[in-house]
A and B are shown apart, each in its own frame.
Chain A
Amino acid sequence: MRLERLTAQLRPCPAWQAIDLGFALARAWFPALWALWWCTALPLTLIVLALAWLHSDLWLLALWWCKPLYEAPLLLWASRALFDERPRRGALPGMLGAGLRPRLLPLLLWRRLSPRRALVLPLLLLEGLPQRARRARLRTLAGGSASGWLTLVCYHLEAILWGGMLLGLYLLIPEGLPGIDLIAALEDSAAPAYWISSACYLLACSLIAPFYVCAGFALYLSRRTELEGWDIELAFRRAPPPPAAVLPALALLAPLLLAPPPAEAETWPAPEAARARIAEVLDSPDFGATREVELWLPVADPAQRSTEDAEATWSATPPPWLAGTIQWGLVTLGAIALLILIRALWRERSPRLPRSARTEHEAAPEPHSASPIDHETEIRRLLAADDPGAAIGALYRASLERLDRLGLSLPPGATEGSCVQRASARLPHRVGVPFAAIAAARQHAAYGDRDPSAAHVERLLSHWRRWQGRTDAH
């Protein structure tokens, strides 16, 4: 491995930054990786299609299960490209063959559903360790690598892409052409829509796979950088060589500089002696001893010091009264926000009248709040003034007020007909019938310009008085 030929800058970084680096690499190499994915997947797709003909669900399951086979060539390509060795066309069959290596067997069997697949793949393909060592190595590398999260995120991206494609097809097929049945696309494996859905899923897999593999590879590199100090090694390797003129001098001085002192060189301790020496050092009173040292330091002006202390206290912990004020302020703001929210929801539930209608509603006369005697006096006054039209209008409004008191709620939009209908349906016959007569007379007077006779109004008035539970005095 020639670390100095790395095309990416290696440094210890958190897992998410490593994944980001992987995504950046995938973006840079996407056309080549995508084509490589299809080079492996397409033949397999056709073979499985021939084997599982008319069973689209089996076909899809088999293709999904064999995903590590298509990902292996991608990893090999990326591992070479990272060290600035773009594989030639001649190397492609070898890389495609990598998908069939027996090393991948764990990923196709018991490790297929492992969430760390992205990290296991470089370990299997690039390191080639025996099984026991591989297991220990995986434990070391996987710690804090977020490879499980990577699998989860990529799985969701695949699902979103697949659903998006399916929905896009569903929505964009013009009316008149045979469309896609979404239910069948998800459930009915015999339907053509299911095949389309499967093809969409395969396409989504092909689009996400380069990102998944590169991100896994970047995680792998990041962990090795962190554990093995690749970045330091790389820094040393990339350090500029010493100037040529200095080399002969260094060569001459080397024995002097590097050679150990003669005494030590002669008495290079044997392991037993070294152990004894170590024990001696450990036992010596100076090793691990603590000492108390007393010294004098300059002290600032006490006044200045107290001010500084106060400032430090102020910035560190606010006074209790301020904390209380802030707390109550926040509670008040929260309560106001809650009230605004409730009000908005309430308005949402009961749509307001448009401004034009509201204005008219506000302008509309409210039922008179006068007592029955007032109504009667008013009606009689209008009759005396020879205005039976106005009198029947007043009687109608008084009747509405009375209906309201009887518990018949009449909305502002209730016309004469709807008032009569409601009164007949909900109130006793002795109320409904006279009210219908009053409403009819009012309609003729108001809209037909046909005023009732004074006698008719008197008759209706006496009916109305009976509603009130009073006897007719006249």
Chain B
Amino acid sequence: MTQTPLPLTEAVIQLDRLEQDIGQAVSGQRQAIRELLVALVAAGHALLEGVPGVGKTLLVRALAAAVQGRYARIQFTPDLMPSDVTGHAVFDLKREAFRIRRGPIFCNLLLADEINRAPAKTQAAMLEAMQEGQVTIEGQALALEPPFLVFATQNPIEQEGTYPLPQAQLDRFLLKIAVAPPSAEAERAAVRAATSGRIGDRLDTSAVRPLLDTETLQRLQLSATTLRLDERVLDYAVALVRAARDWPGVDSGPGPRASIALVRAARAHALIEGRDFTTPDDVRCMLPAVLRHRLRLGAELEIEGVSADALLGELVERVPAPRD
């Protein structure tokens, strides 16, 4: 069945509700929620990074509660094997043949919690799934049912016993969302909500209604791809990525996949903003989330304490925006 894009008004209403519901479950993370929705609408994977306890897992759980699809969660550990993620072949004694037992990756929304705790071979098991939407088990390629989105979390401060994601794997993530601690007011509200009439500290996503089924979600994603994109906006996005690539002090810059990701994210952002066209503001807004994990800063900048976000902040001020 050929899918049709969701009309703009309906798409905006759905996304608005989604944003509000998730915002009720996770307070004080407006920017992170917005970027998570961008990843959802742009059909891209997202890596959430933040210190423990800021609500990374809750954020993804809330999103999963809103999307009526199959949701799976994998806690990444050092002894996790690739087959624990993708699945494996088992011998069926009754049929006297091997049977494929599918792993938790066969779902619509996958939460890969603390992804950097698993060794590189297990992380690499997700590469094929993330890029090609399929998994190969015993030489047999099995397609993943769309939509397939991976939301991974990692902790930036505990480096002991972790395996930093390789650049190739990082590049598969459309966005890297920095989940910062909430403001004092938002934290107060979160504490009040989490301790009033509730036993224990389980993640509560009851405020989130099941708003989107997988079909609607795909139509929403299709809507984002049909938004108007002016040539000047396209040029601006490409210029930004190319400038980041050649920026002094950057050891390894973003590749063309980053340009594609930036435009996809900008389109999704424009849809969430309720517009049927993309502006340079959308590009500018999504630039840090799209590029911060694709930049490898040189030793000189690292020593000076320049972060990727600070560098991108300077870059965006210096690369000319379209004005004609």
Contact = CB atoms under 8 A, between A and B. Distances in A.
B318 A365 contact: no
A5 to B, nearest CB: 57
A448 B243 contact: no
Interface stretch (B66-74, B89-97, B184-192, B228-236): B228-236
Given A356-B239, A365-B323, A365-B324, A416 B279 contact: yes
Given A357-B239, A447-B279, A413 B321 contact: yes
B228 A447 contact: yes
A449 interface: yes
Nearest to A365: B324
Contacts of A175: 159-162
9 contacts: A354-B242, A354-B243, A354-B247, A360-B239, A400-B323, A412-B321, A415-B283, A447-B228, A448-B277
B320 A364 contact: yes
B133 interface: no
Interface residues on B, range: 35 or more
Contact of B230 (A364, A411, A447): A447
Given A353-B318, A396-B323, A414-B317, A176 B161 contact: yes
A52 to B, nearest CB: 33
Contacts of B278: 447
Contacts of A353: 243, 318-319
A418 B284 contact: yes
Interface string A446-469: 111110000000000000000000
Interface in B257-315: 275-281, 283-285, 314-315
A412 B319 contact: yes
A418 B281 contact: yes
A343 B323 CA distance: 32
Contacts of A418: 281, 284
Nearest to B163: A175
A443 interface: yes
Contact of B279 (A357, A400, A414, A443): A443
A215 B242 CA distance: 60
A411 B323 CA distance: 12
Contacts of B314: 351
Interface in A341-398: 351-357, 360-361, 364-365, 393, 396-397
Contacts of A416: 279-281, 321
B319 A448 contact: no
A14 interface: no
Given A415-B281, A417-B281, A351 B249 contact: yes
A448 B232 CA distance: 12
Contact of A414 (B228, B275, B276, B321): B321
B197 interface: no
A396 B322 CA distance: 12
Nearest to B236: A415
B243 A356 contact: yes
A412 B323 CA distance: 9
A415 B279 contact: yes
A447 B277 contact: yes
B228 A413 contact: no
A351 B318 CA distance: 10
A125 B280 CA distance: 85
Chain B CB count within 10 A is highest, among A357, A397, A413, for A413
Chain A CB count within 10 A is highest, among B232, B285, B317, B318, for B318
Nearest to A413: B317
A393 B243 contact: no
B161 A361 contact: no
Contacts of B315: 413
Nearest to B314: A351
B316 interface: yes
